[in-house]
Chain A
Amino acid sequence: NAGVTQTPKFRILKIGQSMTLQCTQDMNHNYMYWYRQDPGMGLKLIYYSVGAGITDKGEVPNGYNVSRSTTEDFPLRLELAAPSQTSVYFCASRRGEGETQYFGPGTRLLVL
């Protein structure tokens, strides 16, 4: 099993550009999550999904969108990138409530 994979590993965006961060898991997990982590700070939940077709906002959803059309994939869309979105983005998944959560390797995003 590859676990949770994320692409790209690193990206530089100009202000106002858009992009999609990809996340795929091969563990047949129902729950998937997107976090951002600013330097020296903790994880902040952006969006999450408890199954295909179901998504919900986390703590910091503004400026982002998600979709969950399959169990495996949970892409994060950034519209109109802003410098405040410079961060490291982690995707994570788990089977369900109370279960261990597994993280992807992260995507480092720089908005200039």
Chain B
Amino acid sequence: QKEVEQNSGPLSVPEGAIASLNCTYSDRGSQSFFWYRQYSGKSPELIMSIYSNGDKEDGRFTAQLNKASQYVSLLIRDSQPSDSATYLCAVELDTGRRALTFGSGTRLQVQP
């Protein structure tokens, strides 16, 4: 089992719809969770961080964390073609290695 798992996609949604991206992780002791967006040929950029169970909203983005079920998700409301990118989930696993563990990413396509 991979430590951080994401569906590779592509996830295709129409413009204006809600895109839902999911991520599961293996380590129940994990405390810090991050969503990054990566456009083709560019470096990852942070969208949101979340540390506590529940929802965290920032503009059109909502991160949801459920530590008991070991999943974190990202909702993108009113999806725009400019949201088309790969979304990376990153988790600070409780392994002693002081580095984030990244999922392989979900490619999102927003159709105009």
Residues of chain A whose beta carbon lies under 8 Å from any beta carbon of chain B: 31, 33, 41-43, 45, 48, 50, 56, 58, 90, 97-98, 100-106
Smallest Cβ-Cβ distance to A90: which chain B residue: B43
Inter-chain contacts of B26 with A (CB < 8 A) = none
Pick the contact of B88: A42, A100, A104 (CB < 8 A).
A42
Pairs of residues from A and B, 3 with the lowest C-beta to C-beta distance, nearest first: A42-B104, A103-B43, A98-B32
Contact B102–A43 (Cβ < 8 Å): yes
Q: Is the interface of B mostly helix, strand, loop or mixed?
A: loop
Q: What are 24 contact pairs spanning A and B, CB under 8 A?
A: A41-B104, A42-B103, A43-B44, A45-B99, A48-B98, A58-B99, A90-B44, A97-B32, A97-B92, A97-B98, A98-B31, A98-B32, A98-B92, A100-B34, A100-B46, A101-B34, A101-B90, A101-B100, A102-B46, A103-B43, A103-B44, A103-B45, A104-B43, A105-B42
Residues 79-112 (chain B) with a chain A CB within 8 angstroms: 88, 90, 92, 97-100, 102-105
Q: Can you name 6 extra interface pairs (CB under 8 A) apart from A31-B99, A48-B99, A98-B92?
A: A33-B99, A100-B34, A103-B43, A103-B44, A103-B45, A105-B42
Confirm or deny: B49 has a beta carbon within 8 angstroms of a beta carbon on chain A.
yes
Of the listed residues A48, A102, A103, the one surrounded by the most CB atoms of chain B closer than 10 A to its CB is A103
User: How many whole Å from A27's CB to the nearest CB in chain B?
Assistant: 14
Which residues of chain A have C-beta atoms less than 8 A from B44's C-beta?
Answer: 43, 90, 103
Docked complex Cα distance between A50 and B43 (Å): 22
Task: Find chain A residues with CB under 8 A from B46 CB.
Answer: 100-102
Does A50 lie within 8 Å of B98, measured CB to CB? yes
Q: Are A106 and B103 in contact (CB under 8 A)?
A: no
| Cα–Cα distance between A58 and B103 once the two chains are bound (Å) | 15
Q: B98 contacts A31, CB within 8 Å? A: yes
**Which B residues are in CB contact (< 8 Å) with A43?**
44, 88, 102
When distances are taken between beta carbons in the complex, the residues of chain B under 8 Å from A104 are 43
Cβ of B52 to closest chain A Cβ, rounded Å? 12
Bound-state CA distance A106–B44 (Å) is: 10
- Report B-chain residues with C-beta under 8 Å of the C-beta of A106: 42-43
